[in-house]
Structure 1
């Protein structure tokens, strides 16, 4: 399985997606520090939201095979700078979270566009609470390189 590092703002669903992928009960708690699991690295949202932590993301990424940038479907705020993926040497994918809360197709498309502009090579659309789209991400992570 490819080891993935999740990067996204506070509340986007990184920890919930981690729990879903690991088959754990979904329990919300605020990630205070980088959490390392066998095939997942869960980063605090503050590491994206404060540029002074970009170096920590870059260094931590050396432990990952792929970087997952997460954007919430219902959040219209611009999260990632254009070309953000250039911070990493690994493949960067995009993950639109909370698709069950999207207000419209236009909101989903805005999230997709943001991930493309950040440099995501492909995009997955997920609802961790509804278990939608999670299998597609699992298949990608378990596929042979």
Structure 2
């Protein structure tokens, strides 16, 4: 199974996604520091929101097979720089989160993740399970 580092803004759903993938109870938990487990590295949202942390993201990515850039499609805001994925020497995927939200704008999220230069995009809801099977299959491939 692929080891993956998750990167995204504060409240993008990184921790919730890890909880869902690990079969844990979904509960909000603000990630204050990098959180490691056997398969995932959950990074604080501030690491993508502040360029001074980019070197920490690059050096931490070394031990992972892939990087996931998450975008909350319920927000019409983007803090992911164009071309962001190109700074990693790994496969970088995009994960559009909260697709079950009334405010979901998949087109906007897709545009932002495409501009970041991710290799492919998964559309998921950690709560309803939408898109999770496809993501899990990719992780197991």
Q: TM-score scaled by structure 2? A: 0.97
Match of 1:134 in 2: 132
Residue pair 2:75, 2:103 contacting (<8 A) in 1 also: no
Query: Counterparts in 2 of 1:12-23, with a 5 A limit?
Result: 12-23=12-23
Query: Structure 1 9/72 Cα, relative in aligned 2: closer, same or farther at 3 Å?
Result: same
Instruction: Give the count of matched residue pairs.
Output: 141
Distance 1:78 1:13 in 2: 14
How far apart, CA to CA, are the structure 2 residues paired with 1:112 and 1:46? 22
User: Does residue 1:66 correspond to 2:69, yes or no?
Assistant: no
**1:79 aligned residue:** 79
Runs of 4+ in structure 1 deviating by more than 4 angstroms, as ranges, are: none
1:1-145 alignment to 2 at 5 Å?
1-103=1-103, 107-143=105-141
1:100 is paired with a residue whose SS is coil
Question: Cα RMSD between the aligned structures?
Answer: 1.0
Partner Cα separation in structure 1 for residue 130 and residue 9 of structure 2: 21
Gaps of 5+ in 2: none
Give the direction of change, closer, same or farther, for the CA distance of 1:51–1:21 in structure 2 (3 Å limit).
same
Partner Cα distance (1:78, 1:36) in 2? 26
Q: Secondary structure at the match of 1:99?
A: coil
Q: Is the 8 A contact 1:98 1:128 kept in 2?
A: yes
